[in-house]
Structure 1
Amino acid sequence: MNNTFKLYYISSLVAVIGNAVSQIAVSWYISSMISHAHLAYLIASTFLCTFLFSVLLSPIIDRNNPIRIYRISVVGRIILLIVTIVLLKLLEGSIGPLVLLLIIQSILTVMGSNTSFKIVKYIVPEEKLLKANALLTANSRTGYLIGMFLGGILIKYLNIDTVLIIEVIGYCLSLGLLFFISINNYVGSQNTSKYFKNIWEGFSYIANNKWIMVVILIAVIANMAITPTNTLLAPYVQEVLKESSLTFSVIEILMIVGGILSSLITSKISKHLEKKGILLNLFITSASLQSISVILLGFHIMKIPVFIYFFIIGVSVAIFNIPFVTILQKNIPSDISGRVWSLLVAISTLFSSLFYYLSGYLVSVFSLKIVFFNFGLISLIFLVLTFLIFGKLLKKSIKV
């Protein structure tokens, strides 16, 4: 990989570590003060913000140099963290500033992650996109793993203000590296139509390309499958497995390690996976594995099988994301790719937030095992039907 990608890789790693430190620390701090259902609702609310701002920011990504937008998102995070630290001092004992931090940070994440989709497309040759996306997937999970350890340790021995200060330092380092990155071959969108018309053009492009609608449908179904593992993992460990926070941490680590290993392996064999059909098959298979693993979590209460299922979920989620991003990068024109990607993220997160709200409601009516089983089973049925109906369309339309 070229030097520009390497700089971007390191900058992203530093940022992911900083973000994970505060996310773990802040989430743990807040979860100790609110109920399981309210925690699920809070997570769902951050997803709704991601949906809204993915739509609103989509034209900006196509009209401006993506690396400049990415830098602005990092500067925004630094300012947000400093303001949060000040508010925590002024409003001692209140979780309000931390809730706002999680919500506003999700908006800045939209700017960063949606722009990253386009940055990679410019700094990496097309024949190396799969390898680059695999390395970035491993990067994000490695950074999260490191940040999770640091966040857990820091929140135990330090107060939340100090943890946030450490994150500020991390983002300052990331920002410094970004100033060494430039995109010389960037050509902004020549479309000068009005802002909301630009948004509509993105939706029109998706509507006129049925294969994109099928791809996002599969992504929505895959997100549905893993919903309970995102919102109800802590209660599952406590009430189903009858285990402590140590088991919770082990499961989190297993999912992350599974994602790291599968991403690294994918990067090593990327040339073989580029063969026609393999990338698409990988996309469908990994989505199915997520559903099957969640179904099995609704049956088993013994630790070893449960550990294996969560590890498989980590592997399959990572493998799913790599072809998902690569397929879209290769098949969507650069001048509209920012809008299309942002709108696809918006659609995905809208449904995810609805699933998260639904999981918060269902867990108050049914047992945790039933909730896990039903999310997995229904998603698997939808996946099979989608592939049977639209499989030929995908194989015919997608350049892999």
Structure 2
Amino acid sequence: MLTLLRNPTFTLFFLGNAISLIGFGLNLISISWLVLEETGSELALGKIMAAATIPGVLLALFAGVIIDRMNRKWLMVILDIVRMVIILVFLSALLLNMFTMMSLFIMVFLMGIGNSLFWPTAQAFVQQLVEPDEYFNANALLSASYQTGSILGAGLGGLVVHYFGVNTALAINALTYLISGILISLAPFSYQKRSETTERILTALMKGFRFFQQNLGVLILGLTTILADVAIWGAMSVITITMSRDVYLAGSWGYGIMEGLYGIGALFSTILAGIGSNKLGRHRFLLVCYIISAIMAWISPGFFHVVLAAFAYLFMGLHNNSARICIRTTFMEQVPNEIMGRVQTILGVYTRIAVITSVIIAGWIVENYSVQTGMNFTSIHFIFAAAGIILVFLIPKYRPIIVLKSGSAV
């Protein structure tokens, strides 16, 4: 795994991406705290999170074609700089006492556009940089940067908000995007223009749909296991901060501890994913990871102290991100690089619709029932992911997707 970091292009991209995701985590806690301070409503927070996700639904289908046609390195640099500018404009409004909920909606909507382009671009760029036999290790590092960077960013953000305020957290957020853009821009990369750039957008887009039509097992796997990501970016983005504030009376610092330990678990998943897949087989390991994640979500509101809940989050991060590494690797193995952007963004549309639905339902549940009921709802996401593994395994022609040949690495 560490041999990949000897590649200067991969290393600079990896560091830039990780720093960018720390910024995303800082942004998440800053916005969440602003909403709850202004409205006190979990449903309102759910609506804000939905507004951040809607651009992905509107743009994602065509974003895949853009990603597959453009120089992915410079597209990421541009998106980092644009997101930095958006944060600085919003921060200026806060400093000038011009904040309104409408300005917040506009900011998260514009940030959603940048995020919906950046993340699938990064995934496709990695596949372009490494050889097939390096997919697992590259994906382990990338997934660790996604989960650890964004979740630790949120954890750090909780402490920054608690001690220094939202404005400081947003200023650091803007700085992370600048640093990320500089690092990625310095990565040596020779772009070769693809021969299909004159192809009609609709024709190019249909290649992604045709791939799924011809590979229904991959589609089933994607539609179900993505719900584990939806649990984190959907329901839990609303519930965790409320759990810390109302169940454990720990405010933003408790949120920081919970998210921080989830991120630490995600970091160590780079080790567990390889060991677990080799010992149990990828399909069995995935099933175990999703079941443990569901249990950790279910029990997390029932402790007497926030630190114990944070340890439940640590085990959730460890197992959920281990599963994520295995699933991302499976997709790299199954999907040709030339259509990876389109395939990623087709799934991205589904993911974002699911996230929008999840955050609004979770906000409504917590506001009208309880945090425990909300976390029961979260657990169902992981149960559906486990059901997807079982379904693919039970259909003989799809089974090879998740059951590796004897002697294969992870």
Partner of 1:3: 8
- The yes-or-no answer on 1:22 pairing with 2:22 is no
**Amino acid across the alignment from 2:336:** P
Map 1:30-49 to 2 at 5 A: 30-34=35-39, 35-49=41-55
Q: Which moved more, 1:243-252 or 1:102-111?
A: 243-252
Q: Secondary structure at the match of 2:38?
A: coil
Deviation at 1:146, TM superposition (A): 5.5
- Pair 1:172-2:174 in alignment: no
Q: Return the offset for 1:144.
A: 3.6
Secondary structure in 2 matching 1:363: helix
TM-score (norm 1): 0.86
In the alignment, is the contact (CA less than 8 A) between 1:62 and 1:189 conserved in 2?
no
Name the CA shift for 1:191/1:399 in 2 (closer, same or farther; >3 Å): farther
Task: Compute the displacement of 1:7 (Å).
Answer: 1.2
Measure how far apart 1:301 and its partner are: 3.6
Q: Alpha-carbon deviations, 1:347-396, whole Å to 9, x = none?
A: 1221121122222223344333233224425752x455444433134422
Distance of aligned partners of 1:386 and 1:175 in 2 relative to their CA distance in 1, 3 Å threshold: closer
Secondary structure (helix, strand or coil) at the match of 1:28 reads: helix
Consecutive unaligned residues in structure 2, runs of 5 or more? 405-410
Unmatched tracts of structure 1, length 5 or more = none
- The residue correspondences of 1:356-395 to structure 2 (distance < 5 A) are 356-377=359-380, 380=383, 382-383=384-385, 385-391=387-393, 392-395=396-399
1:252 corresponds to which residue? Answer: 259
> In structure 2, the residue corresponding to 1:32 is in which secondary structure?
helix
Instruction: Provide the rounded CA distance (Å) in 2 between the counterparts of 1:363 and 1:210.
Output: 36
How far apart, in 1, do the equivalents of 2:200 and 2:315 lie? 46
Report the alpha carbon displacement of residue 217 of structure 1 after superposing the two structures with TM: 2.2
Structure 1 residues 331-342: aligned runs within 5 Å: 331-342=334-345
How big is the shift at 1:335?
1.4
The within-5 A match list for 1:1-400 is 1=4, 2-34=7-39, 35-88=41-94, 92-144=98-150, 147-148=153-154, 151-152=157-158, 154-155=160-161, 160=166, 163-184=169-190, 186=192, 188=194, 190=196, 192-223=198-229, 225-226=231-232, 227-241=234-248, 243-266=250-273, 269=274, 273=277, 278-297=281-300, 300-303=302-305, 306-377=309-380, 380=383, 382-383=384-385, 385-391=387-393, 392-397=396-401
Residues 264, 33 of structure 1: alpha-carbon distance in 2 compared, 3 angstrom cutoff: farther
**How big is the alpha-carbon RMSD for the aligned residues of Structure 1 and Structure 2?**
3.0
Rounded to whole Å, the distance in 1 between the matches of 2:247 and 2:174 is 38
Q: Which residue of 1 aligns with 2:408?
A: none
Q: Which amino acid aligns with 1:18?
A: G
- 1:187: how far off? 5.1
Structure 2 CA distance for partners of 1:372 and 1:105, relative to 1, 3 Å: same
Query: TM-score normalized by structure 2?
Result: 0.84
Asked whether the 8 Å contact 1:21–1:148 carries over to 2, the reply is yes
3-state DSSP of counterpart to 1:33: helix
Is the CA contact (8 Å cut-off) linking 1:327 and 1:399 kept in structure 2? no
What's the CA shift for 1:140?
3.5
C-alpha separation between the residues in 1 aligned to 2:303 and 2:193?
55
> How much identity, in percent, do the aligned residues show?
20
1-side partners of 2:356 and 2:75: how far apart? 26
What is the aligned residue count? Answer: 394
In the alignment, the residues of structure 2 paired with residue 352 and residue 136 of structure 1 have an alpha-carbon distance, to the nearest angstrom, of 21
Residues 213-246 of structure 1 deviation map (CA, whole Å, 9 limit, x = unaligned): 1111222442455554332122233444455544
Q: Which stretch shows the higher mean deviation, 352-361 or 335-344?
A: 352-361
Question: Equivalent residue of 1:232, what SS?
Answer: helix
After superposition, the Cα gap between the structure-2 partners of 1:189 and 1:290, relative to the gap in structure 1 and judged at 3 Å, is farther
Per the alignment, do residues 297 and 238 of structure 1 end up closer, same or farther by CA in structure 2, a change over 3 Å counting?
A: same
CA contact (8 A) 2:80 2:181 kept: yes
Query: Could you tell me how far apart the structure 2 residues matched to 1:260 and 1:10 are?
Result: 14
Distance 2:165 2:391 in 1: 54
Distance 1:320 1:47, change over 3 A: farther
- 1:125-150 per-residue CA deviation (whole Å, 9 max, x = no partner) reads 22122112212233344434664465
Instruction: Quote how far apart the aligned CAs of 1:111 are.
Output: 1.5
User: How has the CA–CA distance of structure 1 residues 98 and 63 changed in structure 2, closer, same or farther, with 3 Å as cutoff?
Assistant: same
